[in-house]
Structure 1
Amino acid sequence: MKVIVAGMPKTGTKSMNAALKKLGYSVYDFAENAYLLGDYYNKIVFEGWTTQDFRDMYEDVDAVTDFPAHFFWDEIHKAFPDAMIILTTRNSEEEWLRSFEKQVAMNDGSLLFNLMPYLSPTSRKSIGALMMLSQVVFGAKAKSILARKTEFNKQMAVKLYRQHNAYVLHTAPKDKLLAFNVSEGWGPLCEFLGVPVPEDPFPHKNKGGNIVNTATTDFPIFRQIQREIIVSSIVLSSSAVLTGFVLYKYGVSGIFSEARNFWDILATKIGLSRLS
């Protein structure tokens, strides 16, 4: 682990993900943190953690950004004390809140994001931990019922944003910390990391919360989740059609009769007496 991006979501974390990849770093963003490391985060949230847990999670990764890893930035830094820390921020708390509200609304309106907890085993693996952490980190209650809007306290969200930033600025080693706004571009970032400035413009991702439209393109894990949703939908649809056909052909009483006949045949073959 070489770089820990400790900034809250909606502070340019998707842009940082793209920028660090452009600089040659392997990066775990939200998708990888939440879904590839889902078992670890379930253990961390519900049972506790050790420094070794975070060392095992990120020993083969160059950089980490976004939720839920940003919340554990100091624990990750204890596991990798030589890593550099970047606190991404917005121009103001009000700007951050508007961006956060828009992202929540976009997520709530996404069919993919709505179906994930129900039809994707990969998503379900970490959903419990993510829902609990959402309340702690954002003051937001992640929805647990399909098509139900996410609820969050705006004042609490801003307070938590302020507290998180203050904690990073106060706690992180000053010689390893960069407070950074992605609008500053490559200059301060590359100087801090000691790497050459790329010729390409600094990337700006997830504008207006459009990650819901680009997730399957930008993150391979979301393509896996999408495939799981499709397969689960086909299985459920086929099961519904088969159940409807059986009910139409035999009726409820007919199904019980067929099941009883099947048991009689099976019982005869294995030498069991018929159940009365």
Structure 2
Amino acid sequence: MVKIIGAGFGRTGTASLKAALEHLGYGPCYHMFEVIAQPERAQDWELAMDGRVSDWQQVLGGFESTVDWPGCAFYRELMDFYPDAKVLLTVRDPERWYDSTYGTIYQFVQDPPGDDDFSAKLRPTIERMIWNGTFDGRFEDRAHAIDVFERHNAEVQRVVPADRLLVYRVGEGWQRLCDFLDVPVPQEEFPHVNDSASIRDLAAQVSADGEVPSPFTSA
């Protein structure tokens, strides 16, 4: 049963947050990497975009939290289905967010399609949901993309009841996150995963191994 819903866009520290939540006991955490590792999961999100998912446990069964796309695109539906779940909105400076997104995940899907499951199953879903859906096919228009990012963040804060929401920057570390979740602060340092230099290597490793490497040896 999902207990935490991540409403923040990708490239707002979501991979680090995934590792942190799993370390705190809210794992496994559903991240875009789950779909990279199992491209057949893209079908779930095609159905969701068509409004054909009524039982989210069929999509997220076995997971205790979600972050990143595709889940953040359906935070309202997830809030309704999991009324006791808390919502985490990860944010960062909009200009830096755009530069990071443009230089990493946007370029990642601009590569020529290959003869693989990513290209056949996942890439069309990502393009439909994110680049053509969320950003109206105009992600290269910097001002438009940043406006979409800021409007999304504002809408989350308008829609989600204050007692269910934490607006959070991963650079803040453990304290506010743990206070919000009412769990003890770990002794380990807060994880730092998936910086701009490593995204391609990490995605390739996820595709090969089927899981995201954890920075915690005990995880």
| TM bracket, shorter-chain basis | 0.7 to 0.9
1:149-194, Cα deviation, whole Å (9 max, x unpaired): xx62211110110111011000012111000000110000111111
Aligned residue identity for 2:125: A
Give runs of aligned pairs for residues 72-151 of structure 1, distance below 5 A: 72-90=74-92, 92-104=93-105, 107=108, 114=111, 117-121=113-117, 123-133=119-129, 134-140=131-137
RMSD: 2.3
Separation in 1, partners of 2:136, 2:197:
19
- Deviation digits for residues 218-257 of structure 1, max 9, x if unmatched? x3xx1168xxxxxxxxxxxxxxxxxxxxxxxxxxxxxxxx
- Which residue in 1 is equivalent to 2:213? none
**1:155 equivalent in structure 2:** 143
Partner secondary structure for residue 51 of structure 1: coil
Higher gyration radius (CA): 1
Report the 3-state secondary structure (helix = DSSP H, G, I; strand = E; otherwise coil) of the residue aligned with 1:66.
coil
Q: Which runs of 5+ in 2 are unaligned?
A: 211-219
Report Cα offsets for 1:64-100 as digits up to 9, x if no partner.
111121111111111111111000000x211211212
Provide the TM-score with structure 1 as the length reference. 0.68
Specify which structure has the higher proportion of helix.
Answer: 1
Listed one character per residue, the Cα deviations across residues 81-131 of structure 1 (whole Å, up to 9, x for unaligned) are: 1111000000x211211212221465268xxxx47x532236522332221
2:29 is the counterpart of 1:27: yes
Residue 217 of structure 2 corresponds to which residue in structure 1?
none
Task: Give secondary structure in 2 for the equivalent of 1:85.
Answer: strand
Call closer, same or farther: CA 1:208–1:140 in 2, change over 3 Å.
farther
* Aligned position for 2:43: 39
Aligned residue number for residue 171 of structure 1: 159
Q: Is the 8 A contact 1:51 1:78 kept in 2?
A: no
Q: In the alignment, which residue of structure 1 is the partner of 2:57?
A: 55
Amino acid at match of 2:61: E
Q: Structure 1 unaligned runs (5+)?
A: 142-150, 226-276
Q: What aligned pairs does 1:164-203 form with structure 2 within 5 A after superposition?
A: 164-203=152-191
Aligned to 1:7: 8
Where relative contact order (Cα < 8 A, 6+ residues apart) is larger, the structure is 2
Count of aligned pairs = 205
